[in-house]
Structure 1
Amino acid sequence: MKTKTIVIICFVLTLNNLVAQNNIIKDNLFTANKLSSEKLQTFLKSKIEGTQFIMLGEQHGIKEVGKITNELYNIGVEYGYNTLCIETDPIAAKTIETLFSKPKNSEKSFSELYQKYPYAIPFYNNKNDIELFQNISNHKGKIWGIDQVFMVEFRLVFDYILNNSSNKQLKKAIKPLLIEAKNNYKMAVEDKNYMAPFIFKYTDKLHQKLITLCHSEKEKDILKSLKATKEIYLYNFQKHYYLNNNERAKLMKNNFLNYYKEATLNIKAPKVLFKLGANHVKKGLNNTNVFDISNTVSELAFINGEKSLHIRATGINGLKNMGNPFAPVSVVPFDNTKDLPKEVLENIEGLKEKYLIINTVPLRSITHKLSKEMETLVLKYDILIYIKDCEALEDLETD
């Protein structure tokens, strides 16, 4: 009888713990059907106030992330934010910034660029982020790109050199390379040949030849970015995944610090909103066992006596754009529920509104009671946003 009583008491205590755990999670989440929801706006403002950096980690290929970024930017403007940092290289970012600096023709110019060089700018070959870029331009904001050159972007980089350099010798050498890169891209898409793009023809011998023609460090830096991206991609193709991700992270940190140092000439502690893949935004070691740009940013904020805010925006289900010229179809359905922690699954069951928002900071005191999957999310991000019935980004059209 005594043993039976102990078993019952243990069961009751376990049940009470589960109820308490579920309640504390419910106490730190809410839902919203629109981003303009007063409750969501008030919550985001309370989180953004007193920060130097906002890092939005996205699921690529869905419309809603761009809209969330736009809302964060609009709120951030009130607190001194005006710079958006994106997952492109500096030339792609500069190209976007320049195109949208002329409001009357920006959308047309953006479409014409895509017509000329399809898929040259990763993640932004779509109609839906035009509103975001135009909004930044309207606020006279800046766009920073800190990633590597995209593997099918050599066309755009060569074009940039031809249009922005006065170095006749370098331009003469680049001109036939642009023609070749355009032909290689066409061949790659038509044959679905992943190894056809010009990146694989950018040899060390060619690189050194072009370097000797440079008149400035800026020209050399552009060419060095092409060499670096080839090395990073080759690590991936050779299955050296740690080296691939670690070298990419180092490049992102260096590119960011170059922008940041220049910005500090005018502002003591410039504020930056980041829009990157969710793995790049994780605090601590990420999924690839790398200390990514997120750690540099969070430590820099700490040094400056400020804070960084890390947000993850993930679709629950819906449609996404693959953003890949080699994909058989551009838009595919997805369902992420199999990858969500049980604590999230319990709270999206029967979800009627578009967004589920979880404030993870208060949950860190009970991480020992959470599933391992939930514990990781709670420790790595400050806010989790789950999105129901996502819409795919719409491709810009080509002839």
Structure 2
Amino acid sequence: MAQNHHTLLSVEKDSFTGSGWETIINAAQKSDFVLIGEDHFTNEVPFFCNALTSKIKFDNFICEIDPYSANIIQSKIKTLTEEQLQNYIHDFGNTFSFYALASEFDLLSKIVKSGTNVFGTDQILMIADRLICSELKLITENKAAKIIYQRIEDQSKDYFSAFLNDPSKPMYMLTEEYAKNLEEVSNLKVSTYEKEVIEKLKLTTKIYKEQNHHLRIQLMKNQLMEQYEVWKDKKNLFKFGANHVSKGESFLKIYDLGNLVDNIADSQYTSSLHLLIVGKSGSQGSPFKDFPESPIDSNSSNLKALKPFFDIVVNEKAWYCLEMLPIREKLENGEITTNDVQLSRIIKGFDYVLLIPKVTAGKF
């Protein structure tokens, strides 16, 4: 089935050519909800997004970062000179989540400068408390709060530096001292916005300490729907880890953002477009600067379900675009079967799977 239902994309400078690229562009032009599911920390996914956004103008870019960090970074890109922006990246860039990587930040900058609105839906990154408190201290009118925000900013930086030297050491967000600071500032007379951010910092801490994936997804859905009026009648590009954007049940056995957006599109008599982008070989970067790259192993637990698809990848220079609909129909009709639950979720959850022969690791 994969052999019979794939087309190719050829990389050409900053974009693609070929029938596979034409297929993706045509499908993306027809949908107001385009969702990209990725394996993080490679250069190829932002390259693809750059090419896509050069062809299609999106009103909103919805991504896997918290809404407060997204607003801060977006504001800095818009208002700072290039020299000021580079200095800001030097000071705070490692708190930008995936957008700490050079290729990802370049994509974000391009999207912001094109006039597309950027907003995030995720929990606050464990080290982004420093970024957020650096801004809260500038806007608060409470002197005691300003001192606490500065304390959190300084301590978060120190704890992260210690972690980079010894990963067994905790992040500041996980300490009792941090919890006491949050509690102290939440009891002060501060603005409504500050109280909102403080409560989200508390909720993020709870998610991390409990490793509560369900609560994280609830938060992501909640924050997406808080912005519903902004994106409901617009052209939207979503970029998240593949776990989050399946039409159906995610790889982690939960109904995630992709399922929510699919249902919203369905309620509007239209459909969302779900793309999975994955590398067969190569390497991916690390979430922390100077940590080692990780080799891509197509036989790993995360990727082995894709073996029937990877087997068709013989051209090392082209990307492969697999259409899932004909495979999905035969699976649902019982004409083909699989005992691999993850493979079934991929076939049912994505419209196209883009296979990259070899990916490269994103750099800070």
Mark the runs of 5 or more structure 1 residues left unpaired by the alignment. 1-23, 237-243
CA deviation profile, 1:257-304 (whole Å, cap 9, x unmatched)? 11223x16xxx6122211110001122221222111111111111122
Alpha carbons of 1:202 and 1:38: their partners in 2 closer, same or farther (altered >3 Å)? farther
What's the offset of the Cα at 1:127?
Answer: 1.4
Residue pair 2:172, 2:178 contacting (<8 A) in 1 also = no
Distance 1:377 1:193 in 2: 35
Kindly, what percent of the aligned residue pairs are identical?
21
Matches of 1:109 and 1:351 in 2, distance apart?
Answer: 44
- Counterpart of 2:32 (choices 28, 35, 52) is 52
- Determine the structure 1 residue equivalent to 2:123: 148
Decide whether aligned partners of structure 1 residues 72 and 337 sit closer, same or farther in structure 2, where only a CA change above 3 A counts: farther
Report the Cα distance in structure 1 between the residues aligned to 2:80 and 2:109, rounded to whole angstroms: 7
CA contact 1:83–1:142 (8 Å) conserved in 2 = yes
- Contact kept in structure 2, 1:202 and 1:227, CA below 8 Å: no
Shift in CA distance, 202/82, structure 1 to aligned 2, threshold 3 Å: farther
Are the equivalent residues in 2 in contact too, given 1:245–1:290 (CA < 8 A)? no
1:344 counterpart = 2:309: yes
- C-alpha separation between the residues in 1 aligned to 2:193 and 2:339? 47
Label 1:190 to 1:104 Cα distance change in 2 as closer, same or farther (>3 A).
Answer: same
Q: TM-score, normalised by structure 2?
A: 0.89
Are 1:269 and 2:233 an aligned pair?
A: yes
2:157 to 182, 190, 195: 182
Q: If you compute each CA radius of gyration, which structure gives the higher value, 1 or 2?
A: 1
Cα drift, residue 383 of structure 1: 0.9
Matches within 5 A, 1:170-249: 170-201=145-176, 205-236=180-211, 244-249=212-217
* 2: CA distance, partners of 1:72 / 1:346: 27
* Structure 1 counterpart of 2:25, one-letter code: K
* Shift of residue 117, structure 1, vs aligned partner: 3.1
**How far apart, in 1, do the equivalents of 2:112 and 2:17 lie?**
25
What secondary structure does 2:296 align onto?
A: strand
Provide the rounded CA distance (Å) in 1 between the counterparts of 2:178 and 2:319.
48
Contact 1:314 1:385 survives alignment (8 Å) = yes
For 1:317, what is the secondary structure of its paired residue?
coil
| SS of 1:124 mapped into structure 2 | helix
CA separation of 1:44 and 1:202: change in aligned 2, threshold 3 A? farther
Gaps of 5+ in 2: none
2: CA distance, partners of 1:73 / 1:199 = 38
1:384 to 345, 353, 358: 353
SS of residue in 2 equivalent to 1:296: helix
State yes or no: 1:136 paired with 2:121.
Answer: no
**What's the CA shift for 1:28?**
1.5
- Aligned equivalents of 1:196 and 1:135: distance in 2? 32
Report what 2:75 is aligned to: 98
Hey, what's the Cα distance between the residues in 1 that align with 2:169 and 2:56? 40
Aligned-CA RMSD value: 2.2
Count the aligned residue pairs.
353
Specify the SS of the correspondent of 1:56. Answer: strand
Q: 275, 280, 283: which one pairs with 2:244?
A: 280
TM-score of the superposed pair, with normalisation by structure 1? 0.82
Q: Provide the rounded CA distance (Å) in 2 between the counterparts of 1:199 and 1:177.
A: 12
Report the residue type matching 1:336 in the other structure. Answer: S
